[in-house]
Amino acid sequence: MTAVQTQLSSSAPACLADVREVVRQRWGYNSFRPLQQEAIESVLAGRDSLLVLPTGGGKSLCFQAPACCLPGVAIVVSPLIALMKDQVDALTANGVSAAFYNSTLSAAGRRRVVEDLRADKLSLLYLAPESLLTDQLLTLLASINISMFAIDEAHCVSSWGHDFRPEYRGLKVLRQRFPGVAFHAYTATATERVQQDIVAQLKLSDPEVLIGSYDRPNLSYQVAQRNNGLNQILEVIGRHPSGSGIIYCITRKDVESTTAALEALGHRVVAYHAGMDEQARRQNQEAFLTEEVEIMVATVAFGMGIDKSNVRYVIHAAVPKSLEAYQQESGRAGRDGLKAECCLFYSGGDFAKWRILMQKSGEGESGELAALEGIEQFCSTPRCRHQLLVEHFGQALDQANCQACDVCLGQFDEVDQPLIVAQKILSCVARLEQQYGADYTSQVLAGSQEQRILQKGHNRLSTYGLLSDHTRTTIRHWIDQLVAQGFAKRVGEYQQLHLTDLGWQVLKGERTPVLNQAKPSAHANPSNSKPLPASTSAAFVYFARQESLDDVAAKLGRAKSTVGGYLEQFIRHEQITDPTPWVEPAIIQRVQQAIAAVGNERLKPIFDHLAGEVPYELIRIVASCRANEVGE
């Protein structure tokens, strides 16, 4: 028999009491969290297992602690080099013999790890799948005593997961090479479909499947349409003046501009995205973990495996690409069990941006698009956020009112006569012959004078202007709610609205949907006792208060044309579609008519069409808002 097939024969089998003592001595815990004991017992019994335990539940301890008690070394598969180092640093700080083997080590460092392995000095060895599956490493591992394989972030093995890594699929060969070793898979988020895929792809043998509760009752969820997003972010930060927080953005550009704006306002903040060099990312991560700074602004590149228990808020400045991603990212708040806040600010353009990014990366044909629809429904469905999250993962919430989300806390008003409002919207979809998307439909219902609506004769429809006493944003939100409730659906590349059978029932008065709108609230007005630096980011706070170009130019001591450029960037960053805080309605109408006539690609044709009577800075403002509105 090989060493790996007799790994437990050299000493008495470890028992749960041994692990409890190790946990007390090394980690300082006197008891286990839910499912930790069951997961550890599976490891001690040498039975394959799958543990799905939401962020903060203590997954790592379930393989780290028993690895200290079993003979041989536990091989831990981890997807990120930075994550490996963090885990190993934490283990060695607790007196656990652990190491990683990857490209960041020098030749001498790699030799030391190999020597320690052969001398049976390590309890855990962290490897990336690419390193593990090389002939050199497989040959080495076949010559030593292995206690188990622990597959961390196991959702990466599934194409239906939110962070699929193709290299994880190769791990199935380990079962053939090491038939006597137990395999244990760990993840924070996995739907039932992903769970089944993990078991199949890793070839787990009759595994113990342990699924923790997805509900995090200490987290308060709020979802709102983005409107002056920087101001919304500042409002959340203002509720936690001395607390740590994470702000997630979709793109690197958004990370950098948000970081700069917060810095200009005096906040202690750092950025993190994949475009930064590794040393800068490491320094910023350490600054956040050690509380040299309070705020981390990042793309999804940040957070996996980060052990910081006192994050008081997580803000998504734009929509994440799936509910799995949102559960994991928002779950980084309140890991200490104390109350924490999770806020998601979104716009319709976010979903279009994700679809473009997915198509560019080749993900558009996979389950990614279906996952995006899941988070779109989460944003639009007027139901308890806690219920929606746990139901997505196949669980149920006992209480009808969680008292920890915007819906249950009464932050929305039900629409008066929702049946009539829904009939107006769905009638417009039908009158448009189900050939247009939500944006265009909302413009028709709002009575827009846009040139293409007039050219197509849609201003003569009986549904034209039926909801003109409401904003396009509000109408669009109602459309999203109707889609989320199954009364309409989006079809095709251009996401045209089609009526469903339920939608036709609404038109016949046989079914009434639920429609709501956010209650009016006074946004916080952040102030600064000192003049802000003359930069785009510094100007953001004034624009968030809807101050005029003249006032901001005076405060910053800059030319009005320069400040107009700052405002253009602010409008694009915050996806603002209404220029009225800065431009008079009559001028807005003239510029919009000029855009309809000559297009929106360049400013000079618009300027010339207006006979030079409207300044460039005002044209730029209206054109930028227009571009956001139509998704250009």
User: In CATH, which superfamily holds the domain spanning 219-408?
Assistant: P-loop containing nucleotide triphosphate hydrolases (3.40.50.300)
CATH 1.10.10.10: which residues of the chain? Answer: 413-518
pLDDT band for position 284 (cuts 50, 70, 90): very high
pLDDT at 156 over 80: yes
Report the pLDDT value the prediction gives residue 420, as an integer from 0 to 100.
95
For residue 207, the model assigns a pLDDT of 96
Give the SS3 label for residue 151: strand
Dihedral sign, Cα of residue 129, residue 131, residue 135, residue 140: negative
CA-wise closest residue to 233 among 377, 344, 328: 344
> Which whole number is the average pLDDT over 222-227?
88
| The predicted structure's pLDDT at residue 601 | 75
Confidence of residue 343 (pLDDT cuts 50, 70, 90): very high
Tally of CA atoms within 13 A in the half-sphere of 379 that contains its CB: 30
Average pLDDT over residues 329-355: 89
pLDDT at position 366, please? 60
Asked if 162 contacts 322 with a C-beta cutoff of 8 angstroms, the reply is: yes
Q: Three-state SS for 612? A: coil
Residues 75-96: pLDDT tens digits?
999 988 877 888 899 899 999 9
Three-class SS state of 217: coil
145 or 631, which is more confident: 145
What is the helix, strand, coil percentage profile of the chain, to 5? 45, 10, 40
DSSP per-residue letters across 19-51: HHHHIIIII--SSPPTTHHHHHHHHHHT--EEE
Per-residue confidence at 532, pLDDT binned at 50, 70, 90?
very low
Check residue 202 and give its pLDDT. Answer: 93
CATH fold for domain 413-518: Arc Repressor Mutant, subunit A (1.10.10)
Angle between helices 536-544 and 252-264 (to 10 degrees): 80
Domain 3-211 has CATH 3.40.50.300: yes
Instruction: Reply yes or no on whether the pLDDT at 435 is more than 90.
Output: yes
Query: Do 270 and 320 contact (CB within 8 A), yes or no?
Result: no
Lowest mean pLDDT among 51-60, 311-320, 538-547, 591-600: 538-547
pLDDT score of 352: 78
Q: What does pLDDT average to over the chain?
A: 87
The two three-digit tokens of residue 292, written as one number: 């040299």
d(CA 339, CA 220): 8
Q: Does the pLDDT of residue 533 top 50, yes or no?
A: no
Burial of 414 (0-12, 13-18, 19+ CB in 10 A): exposed
pLDDT tens, position by position, 164-209:
788 888 898 999 899 999 999 999 888 898 999 999 999 999 999 9
- Cβ-contact 266, 239 below 8 angstroms: no
Give me the torsion for CA of 404, 408, 413, 419, rounded to 10°: 140
Mean pLDDT over 215-234 rounds to 89
Give 437 or 366, the one with higher predicted confidence.
Answer: 437
- CA torsion 581-583-586-591 (nearest 10°) is -130
Over residues 247-275, the pLDDT tens digits come to: 999 889 889 989 988 887 889 999 999 89
> For 460-519, how does the pLDDT look when each residue is reduced to its tens digit (9 = 90+)?
999 999 999 888 888 988 998 999 899 999 887 778 999 999 999 999 999 999 898 877
Rounded Cα gap, residues 542 and 552, in angstroms: 7
Residue given tokens 């669980």 in the structure block? 395
Distance CA 43, CA 49 (A): 8
What pLDDT was estimated at residue 161?
67
The reported pLDDT for the residue numbered 534 is 38
Q: Which of 189, 306, 188 is closest to 246 using CA atoms? A: 306
Q: Of 592, 589, 579, 591, nearest to 625 (Cα)? A: 579
Instruction: Compute the distance between CA of residue 611 and CA of residue 15 in angstroms, rounded to an integer.
Output: 86
Asked if 418 and 514 count as a contact pair (C-beta separation under 8 A), the reply is yes
Residue % of the chain over a pLDDT of 90: 51
322, two tokens: 């799936």
Are 100 and 91 contacting, i.e. CB atoms less than 8 angstroms apart? no
Distance CA 108, CA 68 (A): 26
Most confident of 162-166, 247-251, 303-307, 533-537: 247-251
Place of tokens 């283990």: 91
Give the number of residues written for the chain: 632
pLDDT higher than 50, residue 531: no
More confident position, 1 or 154: 154
- Token pair 């001690």: residue: 44
Give 244 or 554, the one with higher predicted confidence. Answer: 244
Sequence ranges of the chain with CATH classification 3.40.50.300 = 3-211, 219-408
Q: Look at 295-304, 353-362, 446-455, 456-465 and tell me which has the smallest mean pLDDT.
A: 353-362
Residues 6+ apart with CB under 8 A from 93: none
Helix (H, G, I), strand (E, B) or coil at 220: strand
Please, are residues 246 and 296 in contact by the beta-carbon 8 Å criterion? yes
At residue 599 the predicted structure's pLDDT band, cuts being 50, 70 and 90, is: confident
Closest of 34, 104, 26, 109 to residue 67, by C-alpha = 26
The pLDDT, as a whole number, for residue 1 is: 28
Q: How confident is the model at residue 3 (pLDDT cuts 50, 70, 90)?
A: very low
Between 280 and 533, residue with greater pLDDT:
280
* Band (122; pLDDT cuts 50, 70, 90): very high
